[in-house]
Amino acid sequence: MLSHACGAVFDNPDLIALACVGDGEAETGPLATSWHINKFLNPINDGAVLPVLHLNGYKIANPTILARIPGAELESLLRGYGWEPIFVEGHDPLPMHRAMAAAMDAAVDRILTIRAEARRSGVAQRPLWPMIVLRSPKGWTGPARVHDKQVEGFWRAHQVPLANPRQDPEELRLLEEWLRSYRPAELFDSEGRLVSELKALSPLGPRRMGSNPHANGGLLRRKLRLPPLETYAVAVAAPGQVVAENTYPLGQALGATIAANPHSMRVFGPDETASNRLQAIYAVSKKVWMEELLPEDAGGSELARDGRVVEMLSEHTLVGMMEGYLLTGRYGFFHTYEAFAHVIASMFNQHAKWLESCLHHAPWRSPIGPWNCLISSTVWRQDHNGFTHQDPGFIDLAGNKSGEVVRVYLPADANSLLAVAESALHELNVCNIIVSDKQKHLQYLTLEQARQHVAKGIGLWSWASNDDNGSAADAPDVVMACAGDIPTKETLAAVQILRREIPALRIRVLNVVKLFALTQPSEHPHGISDRDFDSLFTCDRPVIFNFHGYPWLIHRLTYRRRNHSNFHVRGYKEKGNINTPLELAMNNQIDRFNLVIDVIDRVDGLGSRAAHVKERMKEAILSNRAHAHEHGIDAEEIRNWRWSPGASGS
Amino acid sequence: MLSHACGAVFDNPDLIALACVGDGEAETGPLATSWHINKFLNPINDGAVLPVLHLNGYKIANPTILARIPGAELESLLRGYGWEPIFVEGHDPLPMHRAMAAAMDAAVDRILTIRAEARRSGVAQRPLWPMIVLRSPKGWTGPARVHDKQVEGFWRAHQVPLANPRQDPEELRLLEEWLRSYRPAELFDSEGRLVSELKALSPLGPRRMGSNPHANGGLLRRKLRLPPLETYAVAVAAPGQVVAENTYPLGQALGATIAANPHSMRVFGPDETASNRLQAIYAVSKKVWMEELLPEDAGGSELARDGRVVEMLSEHTLVGMMEGYLLTGRYGFFHTYEAFAHVIASMFNQHAKWLESCLHHAPWRSPIGPWNCLISSTVWRQDHNGFTHQDPGFIDLAGNKSGEVVRVYLPADANSLLAVAESALHELNVCNIIVSDKQKHLQYLTLEQARQHVAKGIGLWSWASNDDNGSAADAPDVVMACAGDIPTKETLAAVQILRREIPALRIRVLNVVKLFALTQPSEHPHGISDRDFDSLFTCDRPVIFNFHGYPWLIHRLTYRRRNHSNFHVRGYKEKGNINTPLELAMNNQIDRFNLVIDVIDRVDGLGSRAAHVKERMKEAILSNRAHAHEHGIDAEEIRNWRWSPGASGS
């Protein structure tokens, strides 16, 4: 669509992308707002999009809105969107071809003039870019009427105008008439070859549409230069002692990546780059904006004519732009609030299908950069927005697409997120879904530890475990697994309580950063072997899995694993409001206290011995809920909780 | 949004719905196309929408497009959408209030004039409805500057203009100044009560916004009159002998429902009512269309000024209209192609969350009609459209929402679909997802049998099974379960082969029509008890489950059931193209031959004995694949396969 064409011409200053818009698709929301791409196209740095709105008047079985509104309204609408329309209308082929050629020449001349003026003056302003409105009959030059019903110039021409020529002699006659109307005897020689005069009209080499390198953008792609990330790493002297915004260092890294790839890296977000705490990018590059600039914008709006960050409150337009940018050989990074990733679910599906089809059916397509989506402002921190913003289900959807092209990452801290980005941004022909909240969270790993963690996919966190006594004969009593920032913190807090309250209990702590490590290697390249899985998760001990998303996803990924029947998964179950973080966790039972209860309920022989502990957990739930209701924030010892397995205090 | 307001005024001829559109949301695709609602509003039958585009100029951290484009472009855009804008602009409160009151009066007068003229003349045409553009500062009357940075009239006024008045004395001073600027001493008496003069300005009773019955539409809702469906049932003398379009009778039933509820039932579809074979509705009511009508439209376009079917190529707009219609106490039915249901995933999520919140937190809200979505043109019949149209994952998403408000149905034939509709259309405060393909499929049940089937949720199809020998001691050797039209046919064809090839094998056939019957009653009201489940699926026999959707969903729903470790699920696994139906089934291994192999591989002791059968299945796969490639259609015995357990032939 238009947004893809826009992405294709970003940083391609000599390119003109013609985007043909059908009047059916023009009714969709994503297309209706994508006319506003002209607010983001800079005539100096970027190429131009030449939209051709093709009004053939009909969809499958209906007239189209834009073809039936009064012509003055249509022109007003397109001018309102900021385009200068050239109209080509008619039904007689020869004059129409001439009119279209003239319109194309006029449009391209206008584009080249705009471009030349902007580049000569060095002043980038938003011009009135030209566009073409082509009004021609649907099913043009096909059969006019079939069985006494109008076909040409009507919705009946959709798909197959003659449904039954095999059985119906009248339809066969119409088919023959129709095909003969193109005068094949003049087009082909006696052996069926296109006559040389016509053949000579075809463009050659890369000027053929299918061989234009921009249409096989991997050919033009250069390796992404990713600067060393050490500078941006959070200092972590010991696990679980300091807090930091998990996404902030990623913003620094993205800025540095833009600086290192100034014409082939862009970041896309729906008005949320600062909200998702990626604002460090602005030290390198601003948000592109071609509309009016006001004096007050200098006071922090971070707008510029040549910015590499693209913000518009349309996830559809942004993802379309990113896809166009990737498909022409560049790199992009989209970020959005978690609950609203569903807005672009259908676009993700189609891009994943495209990638998979290319791998299997179009080996001549050169690999393209990854489709990156950072999902932030996640379910577990909705202190302000509440229930409407709680939906971690996009990763369920992602898991339906082929494992060859989909990756899902759940880094628990800032350095893990950096390490994920370092690895993921280099992988070609994939969709990377990275889930990471923007708030201040506890930090666990140094960058070097995080790199190892990401390489493994699932980490056994020995510093949090107490089951490593050197004896191979001893399995842990319980495995505490976790994935995601808040679930990891709650798991660790539960481990701390358990180690204090029941010191003899041998606990193993696992953290999952690559979600698909949980599944078989035959299902996903991230999948770990059954041997590794059995060794980490044991074959017979209870596993209390604290998960970022909907709990069923973990069952779906692990149901074939030997120890699956001992998996007990906690996750989001649609119980939320504008809660404090701990209250929200407790509502969905992913909190420390419920996890301790889960362990007591599931470790053989603990039940009765630990009844007093369980009672204290129930009391803690009640008192913390009361505190949240009374004060609107969690108690100080919850807000400032730090990892300290030896100390007392919950 | 605008589409919801449109739904609210459909068939509410005296209503005016004011829809305030923020300039942030106006950038989204769904909003951008929803200005076209005026093409579907009839000034005789319907009320009017009065849009107020509120340009406060800023989003979270950015200017908005519509506030920064030249004023002439904005006016041109809105006129192009077919509205007549009235502009109210300024920042001085008193004149602004007066100007806004005048604009409101003018707009309402214009609406009433349009309405009166149309009703007097009896001629419904699309008028130029008025709208208001309100341009006022963001954070209006709040602090002008904070810490020397502009706040009022700038994006910094978003959410919390003073972040830290508790600690910062300067912010506290600004807060006090700000609040005192409203002169509370004049507004409240010495005891903090609103002064009576102001109190008297508030409207009373149902004129209060929150007590307007249209805003609690369940109060206005009347019981849906659903006509007897016997007339539309497909005649089924014996199972698996006749074919019929599964959705066609539903179209007849929907037409009859519109006839019985002429002002409170509408059907919504994106240009696909005929494509999804629901065109029998047109015998009762046409598609509403307020734009130009051409003479050729009389030849089958099925358009009318007062149609009860709404078609626009924007799923977002249609679902918004339906939600507005439901929320004001009426009934709606949306249908769409399966792969594109994802387009409205985010809207579904929010409606389900709304319903759940109402149940738990707003008991004073009166129940509303069901949010119905028929998913048709499904994954297994993509003879023409192929891979892009293959995505059965919307039901995965639906399963993430609370079981209290979500229902998923997979009727295998036309009468089952009618029985599902009969039951589902009456249920209040739920989202019904009904998956049913539009093509000709085999028919299995009479309407009466189908009603029983739907009431049970999971049916044991004794006519297809051979394990009922009256001896309670004998469990079946294998359970063949299925859900969905094509998977059911392939399961039955596999059973037929098995009964011919291995007559001693005792087979039980189960068909699942309510998807959530598979899960525990504690998770979903459709869930069957563990006792019933164990009795149907056995506790220890292999279950070969042939599923319409992605196979993991069945594991997710059944992982707590006793026999889960014996479940072997087949479903769609992203292997598709423009295949013949059997070829597509074989690519994903849901076909009869692979199912027979699955049984041989999983029933104890069959493996070696049945090696010859397995070999023949492999040969059948190869020869049928070759046939599909050579002829482009499946072999005649596949296309015309009928259920006949005793006969020979595959």
CA distance B387 to chain A (A): 8
Chain A's closest residue to B274, CA to CA, is: A61
Token reading at B483: 């859900």
Q: What is the mean pLDDT of residues A286-301?
A: 95
* Cβ–Cβ gap A391/B81 under 8 Å: no
Give the percent of chain A with pLDDT over 90.
95
For position A470, what pLDDT does the model report? 66
HEC-encoded secondary structure of A75-140: HHHHHHCCEEEEEEECCCHHHHHHHHHHHHHHHHHHHHHHHHHHHHHCCCCCCCEEEEEEECCCCC
* Cβ–Cβ gap A69/B76 under 8 Å: no
A61 vs A71: CA distance, rounded Å: 22
Chain A interface includes B396 (CB < 8 A): yes
Residue with tokens 């009201």: B525
For position A605, what pLDDT does the model report? 87
Site from A25, A27, A276 to mutate, B interface, most B CB atoms within 10 angstroms: A27
Q: Which of B346, B462, B439 is nearest to B398 (CA)?
A: B346
* Cβ–Cβ gap A29/B311 under 8 Å: no
Q: What is the mean pLDDT of residues B394-411?
A: 96
Chain B interface includes A535 (CB < 8 A): no
| pLDDT(A497) > 80 | yes
Q: Where does residue A167 rank: exposed (0-12), middle (13-18), buried (19+ CB within 10 A)? A: exposed
* Cβ–Cβ gap A28/B27 under 8 Å: no
- Reported as a pLDDT band with limits 50, 70 and 90, residue B649 is very low
B203 vs B197: CA distance, rounded Å: 13
B632 vs B628: CA distance, rounded Å: 5
CB atoms within 10 A of CB A551: 21
| pLDDT(B647) > 70 | no
Mean of pLDDT over chain B: 95
* Cβ–Cβ gap B78/A79 under 8 Å: no
Bridge-based pairing state of the strands B406-409 and B129-135: unpaired
φ, ψ of residue A239 in degrees (nearest 5): -70, 140
Over residues A87-141, the pLDDT tens digits come to 999 999 999 999 999 999 999 999 999 999 999 999 999 999 999 999 999 999 9
* Cβ–Cβ gap A275/B60 under 8 Å: yes
CA A192 to chain centre: 48
Site from B319, B556, B577 to mutate, A interface, most A CB atoms within 10 angstroms: B556
Over residues B244-294, the pLDDT tens digits come to 999 999 999 999 999 999 999 999 999 999 999 999 999 999 999 999 999
For position B382, what pLDDT does the model report? 85
Helix (H, G, I), strand (E, B) or coil at B297: helix
CA distance B395 to chain A (A): 10
Chain B interface includes A562 (CB < 8 A): no
For position B471, what pLDDT does the model report? 63
Contact A82, A38 (CB under 8 A): yes
* Cβ–Cβ gap A29/B25 under 8 Å: no
Q: What is the mean pLDDT of residues B358-378?
A: 95
Give the percent of chain A with pLDDT over 70.
99
* Cβ–Cβ gap A301/B63 under 8 Å: yes
| pLDDT(A648) > 70 | no
Bridge-based pairing state of the strands B149-150 and B145-146: antiparallel
Q: What is the ipTM of this complex?
A: 0.96
Chain B interface includes A427 (CB < 8 A): no
B584 vs B638: CA distance, rounded Å: 13
Contact B601, B589 (CB under 8 A): no
Chain B interface includes A311 (CB < 8 A): yes
Buried b (16+ CB within 10 A) or exposed e, B19-31: bebbbbbbbbbbb
For position A471, what pLDDT does the model report? 63
**Which residues of A fall within a CB distance of 8 Å from B402?**
574
Chain B interface includes A144 (CB < 8 A): no
| pLDDT(A441) > 70 | yes
Q: What is the mean pLDDT of residues A304-324?
A: 98
Chain B interface includes A400 (CB < 8 A): yes
Nearest to B149 among A289, A300, A303 (CB): A300
CB atoms within 10 A of CB B181: 11
CA distance B294 to chain A (A): 9
| DSSP secondary structure letter of residue B529 | P
- Reported as a pLDDT band with limits 50, 70 and 90, residue A61 is very high
Q: Which of B185, B240, B218, B241 is nearest to B365 (CA)?
A: B218
CB atoms within 10 A of CB A93: 11
Instruction: Enumerate residues 222 to 241 of chain A having a beta carbon within 8 A of any beta carbon in chain B.
Output: none
Site from B34, B343, B577 to mutate, A interface, most A CB atoms within 10 angstroms: B343
CA distance B429 to chain A (A): 17
Site from A40, A291, A395, A404 to mutate, B interface, most B CB atoms within 10 angstroms: A291
Phi-psi region at B605: left, alpha or beta (left = phi > 0; alpha = psi -120 to 50): left
- Reported as a pLDDT band with limits 50, 70 and 90, residue B115 is very high
Q: What is the mean pLDDT of residues A274-290?
A: 96
Chain A interface includes B25 (CB < 8 A): yes
Over residues A142-180, the pLDDT tens digits come to 999 999 999 999 999 998 899 999 999 999 999 999 999
Contact B446, B236 (CB under 8 A): yes
Buried b (16+ CB within 10 A) or exposed e, B498-533: bbbbbeebbbbbbbbbbbbbbbbbebbebbbeeeeb
Q: Which of A426, A419, A424, A422 is nearest to A408 (CA)?
A: A424
Nearest to A342 among B77, B156, B346 (CB): B346
Chain B interface includes A28 (CB < 8 A): yes
- Reported as a pLDDT band with limits 50, 70 and 90, residue B646 is low
| pLDDT(A464) > 90 | yes
* Cβ–Cβ gap A292/B80 under 8 Å: no
For position A649, what pLDDT does the model report? 39
For position A242, what pLDDT does the model report? 97
CA B582 to chain centre: 29
* Cβ–Cβ gap B62/A301 under 8 Å: yes
DSSP of B223-272: ------SGGGPPP-SSTTS-EEESSHHHHHHHHHHHHHSTTTEEEEESS-
Site from B34, B39, B59, B69 to mutate, A interface, most A CB atoms within 10 angstroms: B69
CB atoms within 10 A of CB B234: 21
CA distance B471 to chain A (A): 32
**Which residues of B fall within a CB distance of 8 Å from A23?**
none
**Which residues of B fall within a CB distance of 8 Å from A552?**
399-400, 556
Token reading at B521: 């009653």
CA A252 to chain centre: 20
- Give the gyration radius of chain B's Cα atoms: 30
CA distance A175 to chain B (A): 20
A201 vs A365: CA distance, rounded Å: 26
For position A485, what pLDDT does the model report? 97
Contact A440, A499 (CB under 8 A): no
Mean of pLDDT over chain A: 95
- Reported as a pLDDT band with limits 50, 70 and 90, residue B469 is confident
Question: A51: which strand partners?
Answer: A19
CA B368 to chain centre: 15
Q: What is the mean pLDDT of residues A282-303?
A: 96
Contact A536, A433 (CB under 8 A): no
| pLDDT(B73) > 70 | yes
Contact B528, B457 (CB under 8 A): yes
CA distance A432 to chain B (A): 18
**Which residues of B fall within a CB distance of 8 Å from A292?**
68-70
Over residues A260-273, the pLDDT tens digits come to 999 999 999 999 99
CA distance A317 to chain B (A): 8
CA distance A136 to chain B (A): 16
| pLDDT(B650) > 60 | no
Chain A interface includes B401 (CB < 8 A): yes
B39 vs B127: CA distance, rounded Å: 9
Over residues A354-386, the pLDDT tens digits come to 999 999 999 999 999 999 999 999 999 988 889
Q: Which of B578, B569, B573 is nearest to B381 (CA)?
A: B578
Question: B408: which strand partners?
Answer: B433
CA distance A471 to chain B (A): 32
